[in-house]
Amino acid sequence: MHSPLKEILLRDRLITPEDLNRAIEEQERSGGELSRILLRLKLVDEDQLSVVLSEALQLPLINLNLFRIDPSLLKLIPKETAERSLLLPISRLNDQLTIAMVDPMDMLTIDNIKAMTSMSVSVVLARPKEMRAALERSYAQNNSSDLEEIFQGIKDTKEAESLELVKDNAQPNKRAIEDLSEEAPVITLANTIIQQAVVAKASDVFIEPMENCLRIRYRVDGFIREIDRMSKDLHFPLISRIKIISSLDIAEHRLPQDGRFRIVTDQNKEVDFRVNVLPTAMGEKIVLRVLDKNQDMADINKLGFEPDSLEKLKECCHKPHGMILACGPTGSGKTTTLYAVLKYIDSPGRNIVTVEDPVEFQMKGFNQVNIRAEFGLSFPTALRSILRQDPDVIMIGEIRDSETLDIAVKAALTGHLVVSSLHTTTGPGSITRMINMGIEPFLIISSVVAIVAQRLVRRVCQKCREMYTASDEIVQEFHLKKLLPGHNGQFYRPRGCAQCLNSGYKGRVGITETLVLTNKIKELILLSSSEAQIKNAARAQGMTTMREDAVIKASQGLTTLEEVTRLTAPD
C-alpha cells in the first residue's frame, strides 16, 4: 500500500518530495503506518488522507452524514469497540456485514468483529470527522451496545439478596452465582473473549479488574495488547462463568486456583485453555494460557535449530541414559522443545512417562502425570513412584527445587534418559545453577549430556519487510565478517502492513544454543571453572551461541537485528 500512497500524494501535489522523505525517516525511526505519520506531522489533513487512502486501497469512500444506521446493527458491535476503533456497521445482507472504518488497515479489529458477529466482513472507508459525528448520533439514539445489553441482562437476573453474604457462613450463595453465570449474556461475553483470542492467535488472555473498570488484554507474539475496557460490574459474573467452564470453585475468592477447559473451533481444531485465578487487591484476576493442540509444533525439525545444533541434539537424544535440559525464561518454548525431543525418540519399544505441573499438551503414546500438590502429589513423590514403573524415558516439566534435581540426576545415573527444563538464561549458567542447588560437579558430568538454552524472537513480516545494507558499525558490532563470511550485509527491517497488524512482525521463531558436555567441558566443571570459561571452551569446540544463532536468523530474513539486540546479550 505504501507505494500507491506515495505516488498519489506526490501526483496530486499534496506534499513535496522533501516532506515525504521526512515522513519516511520518521517512520523508520519510530515505526507505524505512513498514513499516521503524515497526520502526526500535519503534512496532510484527515479529509485529504481519506481521499488518498480510498484510491490507494481501492475502497469506496462514503459520506456517513447520508446514512441512517439501523439500530439492530448497532447491537452487533459494542459501543466501546466502535468508538475506540472508529467504525460503524452500516448494512447487513444475510451473513455479510459491511462496516465503515477510518483505518481499514486495522486487521485485528476486523478479525475481532468477525469472531464477535460470526459473519464475513467487508469494509468501506469513512472520513474521521463524519465518523465521530455518526458514532455520537447513532449510539445516542440507540443508547445500548452489545456489551451494555450483556451488562443489563446481568443486572436483570441478579437478585441482590441471593448474592449477599450469608450471615451463618459468610460465603456467597453458590447456587445464585451459578444461575447468574449461566445466563445467556454472560455466556456470550465469555465466548466472545475466548473466540477473539483464538482468531488473534494470542498466547495469553488477561482479564484484570482495575479500580474503575475491567480490562481485557491479549499477548500476541510475545507482546501484550489491550483489547477492551468494560464496566467493573461485569467482573464478578465473567469470572464466575470462566470458573464454571474450568471446573473451579466459584465460591472461593480468597485463594489462587488452577483449571483448564477445551474448545473446538469452526475448523474442528481443538484448543486448550489453561486457567489461573489470582486474588488481587481489586478482585480476582484471571489469565488464560492458550494451548493450540497442533502436533506439528512437536516436530524437532521445525523448531528453528541450525543444522549443526540440531545434529548434536539428535545425537544426544539417542544416548541410552543421561539428562537433557532445556533452559530459558517463562514463555521461551522450553516445554515445546521437551515434547519435540520425546516425539523424536518415541517408539513402541519405549516406556515414556512425563510428570508435569500441569500437563500442557496431551500427547499420544505418553503416560502423563499431572502434579496435584494439594493432595500430596508433588514432583519428588511422583518421580519416586515413576521409577518403580520401569520407564525408559522420563520427562520432568520443570526442576524447581534441589530434591527434584537430586532425583532427576539419580534417575539419569541409573539407566534412564531424563529430559527436563530449568529456569536459567544460558547453557553454561545451568551448570552454575545446579551446583548452587547442591549437586556435586562429579554428578553433573556423569549425568548431564546436553543443555539447550533458547528464546523466541519475533518473525519479521514477510509481506512488508524492507531490505537494507548494514552499516560498518553494525558489521563490527555483530562480528558479521567472522560469523557470516561472504555475506552481502543485507538485512531486513519491519515496516507494518495489514497482514501483521501494522507491527512489522508476524509469528515467532526460536533461537538456541546447544551445549554438549564434551570431555573438555567436563574437565572445566570438575575444576569449578567460571561460566565464561565454560562458554569460551564450548565456542572453541563449535557451539553457536544464542546471539550468533539470532544473527544467522536475521541474515536469513527471518527476524531483525533489533530483535537480536532486544533478546540477546553480546558474546
Q: Above 90 in pLDDT, residue 447?
A: yes
End-to-end CA distance of the chain: 39
Q: Which residues contact 156 (CB under 8 A, 6 or more apart)?
A: none
pLDDT tens-digit series, residues 475-531:
999 989 889 988 888 999 998 876 777 788 888 899 999 999 999 999 999 998 999
- Lowest mean pLDDT of 130-139, 166-175, 375-384, 390-399, name the range: 166-175
Q: Where are the beta strands (DSSP E) in 127-222?
A: 204-209, 213-220
Q: Which cell goes with 346?
A: 518415541
Average pLDDT, the chain: 84
- Lowest mean pLDDT of 13-17, 414-418, 499-503, name the range: 499-503
Pairwise CA distance, residues 282 & 498, whole Å: 36
Q: Which residues contact 525 (CB under 8 A, 6 or more apart)?
A: 431, 441, 444, 445, 517, 534
The residue to which cell 457462613 is assigned: 169
- Lowest mean pLDDT of 32-36, 62-66, 270-274, 467-471, name the range: 32-36
What pLDDT is attached to residue 160? 34
Average pLDDT over residues 354-379: 84
Average pLDDT over residues 555-559: 94
Torsion of CA 180, 181, 184, 186, to 10 degrees: 110
What pLDDT is attached to residue 407? 92
Measured in degrees and rounded to the nearest 5, phi and psi for residue 103 equal: -120, 85
pLDDT tier at 312 (50, 70, 90 boundaries)?
very high
Pairwise CA distance, residues 426 & 235, whole Å: 41
Q: Above 60 in pLDDT, residue 155?
A: no
Closest CA to 521 of 545, 544, 549, 540: 540
To 5 degrees, how large is the angle CA 435–CA 430–CA 293? 135
DSSP state letter for 397? S
What pLDDT is attached to residue 157? 41
Average pLDDT over residues 117-142: 82
- Lowest mean pLDDT of 165-169, 215-219, 280-284, name the range: 165-169
Q: Above 80 in pLDDT, residue 183?
A: no
Measured in degrees and rounded to the nearest 5, phi and psi for residue 383 equal: -65, -40
Q: Above 70 in pLDDT, residue 290?
A: yes
Q: Above 50 in pLDDT, residue 449?
A: yes
The residue to which cell 534435581 is assigned: 405
Pairwise CA distance, residues 55 & 501, whole Å: 21
Q: Above 80 in pLDDT, residue 176?
A: no
Q: Above 70 in pLDDT, residue 247?
A: yes
Average pLDDT over residues 50-75: 80
What pLDDT is attached to residue 294? 59
Return the percentage of the chain with pLDDT > 70, whole number.
89
Q: Above 90 in pLDDT, residue 40?
A: no
Average pLDDT over residues 61-82: 82
Q: Above 90 in pLDDT, residue 420?
A: yes
What pLDDT is attached to residue 168? 38
Checking DSSP bridges between strand 204-209 and strand 120-126, what pairing results, if any? unpaired
Measured in degrees and rounded to the nearest 5, phi and psi for residue 50 equal: -60, -45
Q: Which cell goes with 202?
A: 494470542
Q: Above 80 in pLDDT, residue 13?
A: no
3-state secondary structure of 111: helix
Q: Above 60 in pLDDT, residue 194?
A: yes
pLDDT tier at 32 (50, 70, 90 boundaries)?
low
What pLDDT is attached to residue 142? 54
To 5 degrees, how large is the angle CA 377–CA 383–CA 387? 135
pLDDT tier at 170 (50, 70, 90 boundaries)?
very low
Q: Above 90 in pLDDT, residue 443?
A: yes
pLDDT tier at 267 (50, 70, 90 boundaries)?
low
Q: Which residues contact 321 (CB under 8 A, 6 or more apart)?
A: 412, 413, 414, 415, 416, 417
Average pLDDT over residues 285-299: 77
Average pLDDT over residues 278-297: 83
What pLDDT is attached to residue 376? 84
DSSP state letter for 120? E
pLDDT tier at 436 (50, 70, 90 boundaries)?
very high
What pLDDT is attached to residue 556? 93
Q: At what angle do helices 402-413 and 379-386 cross, to 10 degrees?
A: 20
What pLDDT is attached to residue 156? 43
- Lowest mean pLDDT of 171-185, 309-323, 450-464, name the range: 171-185
Q: Above 70 in pLDDT, residue 409?
A: yes
